[in-house]
Amino acid sequence: MRPGCRGGLSGSGPVPPRHTPHRDPVEIPMWKLLRSNALFRRLFLGEAFSSFGDSAMFLSLAIWAKDLTGSDAAAGIVFLIITAPGLTAPLLGHLVDRVQRRPLLLRMYFGMAVLVPSLLLVRGAGQLWIIYLVTLAYGLVFATPARQALLKDLLPSDDAVAARSLLITTREGVRIVSPVAGAGVYAAFGGGALAYLGSATFLVAGFVLLSVRVVESEPEPAGEPLRRALPAGFRFVLGVPLLRRLTLAMVGFLGVVGLLETAAFAAVDQGLGRQPEFIGVMASVQGGGSVVGGVLAGLLVKRVGEARSSGAGYALVSAGLVLCVSQHTALFLVGAALIGTGLPFVAVAIGTASHLYAPARMQGRVNSAVSTLTDTAQTMSIAAGAALIVLVDYRVMYGAMALSAVACALAVALRPAAVPPVAPSVADEGPPPADAPGGRGSP
């Protein structure tokens, strides 16, 4: 498909304006969207419960594996299994573009609600495979871009920025408390309680989604050879200059910033002279910064566009990385907050660009292409960080990451790529009332 072409529907109306001429001087757009759009409000509620359950379970399942076996490797395998389905992202994206997204999500949510209680059967190390099976299923749900694709059909194009900003803000917010909550539930009540917690969050998300009636775009027709259909998302991203530049900048950035996963421990130990537990304080401060950044990112993207907003995010991250080399705790934490604030700018920018400029029935493959490229780069840099920390001073690693962020800021913002035409959403033609019966594929 050519860049900016229309997705799923023939005879669509004219492309809606990129920006709304009227701006509410008081109300933040994402809160206005949440208040005024009943369909999105329901979807948001389901996603909030799902995000809480996902992040609460990941750490707790690893702790459980460690308790059962006494092995750090067994716990580490949990995190490996969670990321493994990401290797199949192009195939999952292809699936999402070939089927109705809402029924697919419902099957995943209710299927997980049935599968997660199998954790009640775990009695010892002999049942460790059940933990790994449930973990794999969580990773599969997380790697399937059906939620992002459904959002394209649900929302008018002009609400894309506010929606992405709100979802990222909420995701970062729940990540501050949910891992601690999940670990607390496990410590207080045991692994069986995790089964009930995980199943309950999927049931809530599923029943909330059942109440969302959305007119979906027509699935991409079958017939294209798989060898050509699978890389279609990569071809689209590379064919749209703005998406290409945002994606390649993010790949370059994550290809270096993964060093932070290891370097942060050295900065806390060698730089601040504190115990490793202080990483938890750093993570909380960074998470708080991400909540603030999610709110600000939506406002900035709406005002100056995706490229300059992404550049601002990289600049904030660079400043934060420089401050984290300080041996003063206060400056270190300010740096962590700036890193947390800057990252949502990058995420909201690339998420909004993918939403707006890819047709509805390319959403699955475009989102999977972006995630495949960025996740691969980050994984490689995390592995490199673990190997280099014994050879390279952590301050050099922080310097390399800061320079990488500056280079990415200049690459995307100095001479921004042209903004392509918006690929319309079916919702641009006028969404049905909140209580209207479902449209195509949404019984």
3-state secondary structure the chain: CCCCCCCCCCCCCCCCCCCCCCCCCCCCHHHHHHHHCHHHHHHHHHHHHHHHHHHHHHHHHHHHHHHHHCCHHHHHHHHHHHHHHHHHHHHHHHHHHHCCHHHHHHHHHHHHHHHHHHHHHCCCHHHHHHHHHHHHHHHHHHHCCHHHHHHHHHCCHHHHHHHHHHHHHHHHHHHHHHHHHHHHHHHHHCHHHHHHHHHHHHHHHHHHHHCCCCCCCCCCCCCCCHHHHCCHHHHHHHHCHHHHHHHHHHHHHHHHHCCHHHHHHHHHHHHCCCCCCHHHHHHHHHHHHHHHHHHHHHHHHHHHCHHHHHHHHHHHHHHHHHHCCCCCHHHHHHHHHHHHHHHHHHHHHHHHHHHHHCCHHHHHHHHHHHHHHHHHHHHHHHHHHHHHCCCCCHHHHHHHHHHHHHHHHHHHHCCCCCCCCCCCCHHHHCCCCCCCCCCCCCC
pTM (global) more than 0.75: yes
Burial-class residue 67 by CB neighbours within 10 Å (0-12, 13-18, 19+).
middle
Q: Compute the mean pLDDT over every residue in the chain, rounded to the nearest whole number.
A: 86
Choose among 181, 206, 50, 191: nearest CA to 114.
206
Rounded CA separation 219/215 (Å): 12
Rounded Cα gap, residues 365 and 98, in angstroms: 10
Share of the chain above pLDDT 70, in %: 91
Using 50, 70 and 90 to split pLDDT, how confident is the model at 27?
low
Tens of pLDDT, residue by residue over 389-402, are: 888 898 999 999 99
Q: What is the pLDDT of residue 249?
A: 96
**Does residue 44 contact residue 34 with C-beta atoms inside 8 Å?**
yes
Work out the pLDDT band at 242, boundaries 50, 70, 90. very high
> How many residues are listed for the chain in this entry?
443
| Cα distance between residue 357 and residue 420, in whole Å | 7
408 or 260: which carries more pLDDT confidence? 408
The CATH number given to 29-220+228-421 is 1.20.1250.20
- In this structure, are residues 335 and 321 in contact, taking their beta carbons and an 8 Å threshold? yes
C-alpha distances (whole Å) from 156 to each of 18, 23, 167 are: 11, 16, 16
Q: Can you tell me the mean pLDDT for 184-206?
A: 90
Q: What share of the chain has pLDDT > 90, as a percent?
A: 50
Under the banding of pLDDT at 50, 70 and 90, the label for residue 287 is confident
pLDDT of residue 11: 39
pLDDT (tens digit, 9 = 90+) per residue, 130-143?
999 999 999 999 89
Give the whole-angstrom CA distance, residue 395 versus residue 401: 10
Name the residue ranges covered by the structural domains of the chain: 29-220+228-421
Max mean pLDDT range (14-18, 30-34, 120-124, 435-439): 120-124
- Whether 374 has a pLDDT exceeding 50, the answer reads yes
